Amino acid sequence: MGADVLNNVNAMPAPTWHRLDMNEAAVELPEGLAFAAQVEVEAAAELIGEAGAFDTAVAALQERVDAARAAGPADTRAILKAVDPDVDPANLDIPALSTYEHKAVRQEMANNVAEAFECGMGEQATAWLAEAAGKGAATVFAPAAGKRGQATVRIAGVDGAANVAAIDVVAPAGATFDLTVSLDSPAAGSGVVGVVLRVFAGENARVNVTSVHTLDETWMALDDTGIVCDEGAFVTVRHRMLGAGKSYTGLATDLRGDLSRVDVDTRYLAAGQDVRDFNYIVRHRGKKTRCNIDANGALMGESKKVLRGTIDLVRGCKGAEGTERETVLLVDERADNKTIPVILCDEDDVAGNHGATIGHVAADQLFYLKCRGLSQEAAEGLFATATLEETALAVEDETVRAGVGRLAGRLGIPYQEVEG
């Protein structure tokens, strides 16, 4: 296919001032990409589920959502009338709504889990990734209720092509599932390596996702995730975005069930003229839901990074709590960092926390290291080494570890191979 541009990628749900140039990204794809669909899957045969399992799980959840609404009191708030196309604009009892608020109110009225489902990179990017993976080609993992399973999916760069995996994880009640996804480029070349992942975590299910990028600078990485959590479900996501000339990562989570939770732990590196672009959206809909978004990274050379983090405390999520934090190390003064944490709130009995720390190595830490013979460059390089070695220790797959070691060599970062 010819040159293409994906618009509104990693778009913020509620845009900020457009001159900040942070609301969304436009992704220019390389020209002449073929679709490779060469994906390596390592999993026990009994973990492979049927096509359509994700939609079936969402439909079953919808039945319970509808029953709960029917049993509750009628909603007579004036804000619901604001989306009525026949409302009289002169009626001052009807509140004026922003574009985002209009969409949020319509979704609340519809109360449709499938329609509200989203992936973090946005509709156009999600559709393109699904097309690149092949229609109906999603790999479905569905462990049995109350059982544990694990799988690894490796997606390697194919020169001149877009190599994309579509993955569905459907974890029923009480199940635990561990998924490792690797985006790597063991051979020279250029192109796009991507994944579109949908996760349904049933009642009291536990899903752990680890995604590792170790691509060379000639490749583009697209990592798109959407999650739905039922009552008591807990999903952890570890993003290790270490390589690729340009990488775009989006994750959206619907904490639909009461007491559900998502934790996102992100580590990233960028060197030279690398680009790292993130978009995290967590919508709290169930009562006493929890989310933690924690990001740490180091920017070297003339690299650029944008991180958008939105915690949406939807009406009805009483007792919910959301926290987002980021720590950014600017190894080079030429690096460009943009961080925008956002908390949207339509409920009073909730807690939202956010913060960001951006700078160089602390003066006291730098003094300590210099006293032991390390230059400032070497001292700051230790943080990059720590990120790489932490990633290697966190994964058991030897192929993924080899990718981390190769990336360290390309970046000239001291690195000790992890054994066992």
Is 328 in a helix, a strand, or coil? Answer: strand
Q: Kindly state whether residue 382 falls inside one of the protein's structural domains.
A: no
Over the Cα atoms of the chain, what is R_g? 22
What is the model's pLDDT at position 26?
96
Burial of 110 (0-12, 13-18, 19+ CB in 10 A): exposed
What is the model's pLDDT at position 420?
61
Each residue's pLDDT tens digit, 159-196: 999 999 999 999 999 999 999 999 999 999 999 999 99
Q: Kindly state whether residue 104 falls inside one of the protein's structural domains.
A: no
Q: Kindly state whether residue 331 falls inside one of the protein's structural domains.
A: yes
Q: Kindly state whether residue 102 falls inside one of the protein's structural domains.
A: no
Task: Give every residue of the chain whose pLDDT is below 50, as ranges.
Answer: 1-3
Q: Kindly state whether residue 9 falls inside one of the protein's structural domains.
A: yes
Q: Kindly state whether residue 409 falls inside one of the protein's structural domains.
A: no
What is the model's pLDDT at position 126?
97
What is the model's pLDDT at position 1?
44
Q: What residue type is assigned to position 357 of the chain?
A: T
Structural domain containing residue 200: 4-16+27-55+113-362
pTM across the whole model: 0.94
8 A C-beta contact, residue 200 and residue 236: no
| 294-to-119, 122, 268 alpha-carbon distances in Å | 19, 22, 11
Tally the domains of the chain: 1
Q: Kindly state whether residue 258 falls inside one of the protein's structural domains.
A: yes
d(CA 400, CA 352): 35
What is the model's pLDDT at position 92?
66
What is the model's pLDDT at position 332?
84
Q: Kindly state whether residue 107 falls inside one of the protein's structural domains.
A: no
What is the model's pLDDT at position 2?
42
Strand bridging mode 4-9 / 25-29: antiparallel
